[in-house]
Amino acid sequence: MSLELLILGSNSAAFAHRRHHTAQLFKLQEQHFLIDCGEGTQLLMKRYKVKLSRIDHIFISHLHGDHYFGLIGLLSTMHLFGRKKDLLLVCPPGLKEILQLQLRHSETSLNFRIQYVEFTPGESEIVHETPKYTVTTLPMDHRVPCSGYLFKEKPKKRRINRNKLPEVQLSSLDIVRLKEGEDILNEDESIKYENKLLTLDPNPSFSYAFFSDTRLRPELVDTIKGVDLLYHEATFANDMKDRAVQTFHTTAEQAAQFAKDAEVGKLVLGHFSARYKELDPILNEAKAIFPKAELAIEGTKFVVDGK
C-alpha cells in the first residue's frame, strides 16, 4: 500500500509559464481524490492520462476561481460520459448554490447524484471517513473561507507471520483475533498461542496534508506532526514577504520552516506566483531550511511507499 500525489496544476491566480491553476490527484487505499479543480483541470487530466471515471471524491479548498473554475466543466463531462455513480463533493459553503444555479440555467439534470459535504469555516472537523482512513479539514488563514485537508490512514491490523503457519493450526476466527492483537486461548483460558509469536507489526499508516492558500499557520504544527507528505503553498519567495502577508499567502522560507517544525517526511511547494518564471529561487530558499523540499511541477508524481 502506498500514497501517491500527481500534480496536475500548481500556479496561483494567473496562467503563466505553461503552469496551470491548482489541481491534484491524490491516491490512498485504492481511492482517487481530486483536490481543487482550477480551470482546465479536465484537459490536464487527459494530458496525464487520469480517467474521469476513477474520481469518486472531490475536495475544494475555497471559492477563489483558480481553485474551482474547472468544476462545472468537469461535472458536465462526467454527465456526458454517462456517469451513474454518486460523487462526494467536499466544499466551502456557497459552492452548492453556484453549481445548482449553473445547472439550472443550462437546464441540465445530472444523471448522477452529488453528495455535498460543506465544511464549517474556521473549524477542524472530519468531513469524510471510512474504516480505513479519515479526511479532516485544516482551517486556513485566507481572504475568504478556506480549508486544507489532512488525509490519514487509520492504524492497520497486525500481519500474520506466514513462516509460522505450518507449525500451528488456526481457525479463521483465530486469524481475525491475531490480527486484532489478541492471544489465542485454550478452553480453560490458558494461552495456546501468544500473539507476538505468530504476528508481525502492522504496515505503516500513511498521511498527506494539503495546505491551500493561506498565511502561515503555526497553530497547525501539532495537527500535522510527522505526516509523510505536506503540500504547502509558497506563492512568493522571501523578497515578497510583505506582499505575502497583505494577500494572505506564504513564502517558501515560511513553508519550509513550518515543514521543519512539523517534522514532515517531504515538502512539496506550489501555488506559484506568475511573477516567477524560474522557480529555483523558491526551491533554493526552502531547501536551505528543509532539504527534503521539492517543487510541484505539473505531471510529477510523488510516491510514498515505505518508512
Query: Which residues of this chain interact with Zn ion, rule CB under 5 A?
Result: 12, 64, 66, 213
DSSP 186-253: -TTS-EEE-HHHHEEPPPPPPEEEEE-S-S--GGGTTTTTT-SEEEEE--B-GGGHHHHHHTT--BHH
Name the residue type at position 250. T
Would you name the residues annotated as active-site residues?
66
- Report whether 120 contacts 147 (CB < 8 A): no
Residue 264 Cβ vs Zn ion, minimum distance, rounded to whole Å = 22
Residue 58 Cβ vs Zn ion, minimum distance, rounded to whole Å = 17
**215: Cα separation from own chain's centroid:** 19
Q: Which is nearer to Zn ion, 38 or 302 (CB)?
A: 38
Residue 181 Cβ vs Zn ion, minimum distance, rounded to whole Å = 45
Q: Which is nearer to Zn ion, 221 or 274 (CB)?
A: 274
Residues 6+ apart with CB under 8 A from 20: 8, 9, 10, 11, 38, 39, 40, 41, 44, 298
Residue among 47, 113, 107 at smallest CA distance from 75? 113
Residue 126 Cβ vs Zn ion, minimum distance, rounded to whole Å = 24
Q: What is the phi-psi region of residue 271: left when phi exceeds 0, alpha when psi lies from -120 to 50, beta otherwise?
A: left
